[in-house]
Amino acid sequence: MNELYLKQQEKRESNARSYPRRIPIAIEEAEGIYVKDADGRKFIDCLAGAGTLALGHNHPVVIDAIEKVLHDKRPLHTLDLTTPVKEEFVSEVFDSLPEEFAKRAKIQFCGPTGGDAIEAAIKLVKTATGRRSILSFQGGYHGATHGTMALSGNLGPKQNVQGLMPDVHFMPYPYAYRCPFGMGGDDTHKISAKYIENLLYDPESGILPPAAMILEVVQGEGGSIPAPVEWLREIRRITKERNIPLIIDEVQTGIGRTGELFAFQHAGIIPDVVVLSKAIGGSLPLSVVIYDRELDKWAPGAHIGTFRGNQMAMAAGTATLKYIKENNLSQHAKELGEKLMLELTILQNEISEIGDVRGRGLMVGAEIVNPKIPSGQKGTFAANPELASRIQKECFKRGLILEVGGRYGSVIRFLPPLIITEEQLDDVIAIFTDAVRAALK
C-alpha cells in the first residue's frame, strides 16, 4: 500500500514537495513518538513535524482539548473576533512569558504558518520605525514566502525567484564549526558581535539604521546551531544601544524544546518581538507575534487576514503549553538533550565522519564530514551531504525518521517530541549508531 500511495503522490503533487523525497512513507496511524505506515511498519518520529509535535502525535490532552471545542459547540472560525477559547489561550501564553516582557507585551494573531507571523513582524517593525532595512543572519531560516525567503540565508530556493524583498543585510552567525572568520571556538561569537557592532557604529560602514534585527537563538534548518549566551547578550546590548528592535524567531525553538520555555531565556535577555508557531498550535496551524507595546504603531486593520483564529489550534495550544509547564518538559528536554549529545560525542570519538555534535535541549545536530578533506578552518573538515543522506536512509530502513539539514545538507537533525522517554532515546541512539556504521561500509 505504501508504494501505491507514494506513486499517486509523485504523479499528482507538485514537484516542490520536499520531505517525501527523503522520507518515502504514507503515514496511516500515529501515536506518541511513533508513526505507522500503510504497510503496518512502525517508525520512531524524530522529525516530529519539523519540531512541531512537542507532545508527539495525538497526545490525549491535545485530543481532549480539540474534542471539547467540538462538544461545546464553540465556533470554529471567528476571524480575529475574541472568544473564551482565545481568551484562555492568550492568558496562558502571557503567563508563560517572563514577567518583564509580559507586562509590556501585545499579541497579534497571524495566518496559520510561521512564515505568516514573520511577515507580520517585519511589517510591524517597519511601521514602528519608519525604516526599511532588516539585519538577518547567514544560515538563518524564516520561511518560504517572498519576504521570509529574502530573510533566509538558504540560497538554493532563493536564486530561482527574482524580486524578493530588498534591503536585507546578512550578518555572520556564531557558527563555531564553520566560523565565518575561519577562527572557531569562542573567537567566533566574539568576532561576530564585534563585527556587527563595528558595522552599526561606524558612520562610514554604509549601513543605515535598520528597522530590526531578526535571529534564531538556535538556528534550526541552518543545522541545529546554538548561539552562545554571551553572544546573545552582546547582540541585545548593541541593538538596544542603537535602538534597533530585536526580533527573536522562536518558531522552532519555542515552548520548551531547547530546555527553557523560550530559547531567549537561556541568555536572560528580553527581546522586542517574539514570533511563535509550530508547537504553540499543539499540532494544528497557528502563529502569533508578541511584541513590546511601544512598537504598536499599527493603524486599525494594518494587519488582516482571514485565518487568524483557529479555535481548535488555540485550545490544543493551551493544553500543550499547560502540559509542558505542569510536567516540566523544558527540564526533561534539557536533560535528554544533554544525554543525546553525550552519546553522540562518544560516537564521534570513534567515527571521524561525525565532525561536530551540538545543540540545545532536544534540538540536536550531528554534522557529517569527510575527514580526508580539511576545510579552511583548523580541525574542521568538508561537509559530506552524500554520507549524511546515506545515514538518513539507513536510519529509515531501521525504523527511525530523522531530518537532514544545514547549509550544506550535511547535518543530521534530532527533533524528537519532548515527551520522548530515556528508554526511547536509547533506541534512537542505538539505531543511529547502527545506521552510521552501515552507511560507512
Task: Provide the binding-site residues for ligand PMP, judged by CB under 6 A.
Answer: 50, 113-115, 118, 141-143, 216, 220-221, 249, 251-252, 277
Cβ closer to ligand PMP: 113 or 424?
113
Quick check: 218 and 227 in contact, CB under 8 A? yes
Q: From the CB of 89, what's the least distance to ligand PMP, in Å?
A: 18
Cβ of residue 363: shortest distance to ligand PMP, in angstroms?
10
Place of cell 524524530: 46
Shortest distance, position 175 Cβ to ligand PMP, whole Å: 15
CB of 285 to ligand PMP, least distance (A): 8
Instruction: Say how far residue 186 (Cα) sits from the centre of its chain.
Output: 24
Listed in sequence order, the residues at least 6 apart from 337 whose beta carbon sits closer than 8 Å to its beta carbon are 258, 259, 359, 360, 361, 362, 363, 364
- CA 246 – CA 61 distance, rounded (Å): 34
In the complex with ligand PMP, the residue whose CB is nearer, 249 or 394, is: 249
Closest to ligand PMP by CB, 220 vs 245, is 220
Closer of 23 and 435 to ligand PMP (Cβ): 23
**Rounded least distance, CB 419 to ligand PMP, Å:** 20
The residue among 13 and 64 lying less far from ligand PMP, judged by its C-beta, is 13
Least distance to ligand PMP, CB of residue 275, Å: 7
Instruction: Record the cell numbers describing residue 246, joined without a space.
Output: 530585536
Answer yes or no: are the C-beta atoms of 286 and 128 closer than 8 Å.
no
Residue in this structure with the C-alpha cell 527581546, named with its chain if needed: 271
Smallest distance from ligand PMP to CB 310, Å: 13
C-alpha atoms less than 13 angstroms from C-alpha of 228 in its C-beta half-sphere: 17
Directed axis angle between helix 60-71 and helix 311-326, to 10°? 140
Which strand (E) or helix (H) includes residue 20? helix 19-22
Q: 143 vs 174, which CB is nearer to ligand PMP?
A: 143
Taking the C-alpha atoms of residue 97 and residue 195, their distance in angstroms, rounded to an integer, is 31
Cell numbers given for 234: 552582546
- Residue closer to ligand PMP, measured from CB, 384 or 410: 410
Closest chain position to ligand PMP (CB): 114
- Cα(326)–Cα(254) distance, integer angstroms: 16
CB of residue 52 to ligand PMP, shortest distance in Å: 8
Alpha helices in 159-267 (DSSP H): 185-201, 229-241
Distance CA 25, CA 35 (A): 10
Residue 50 vs 431, nearer CB to ligand PMP = 50
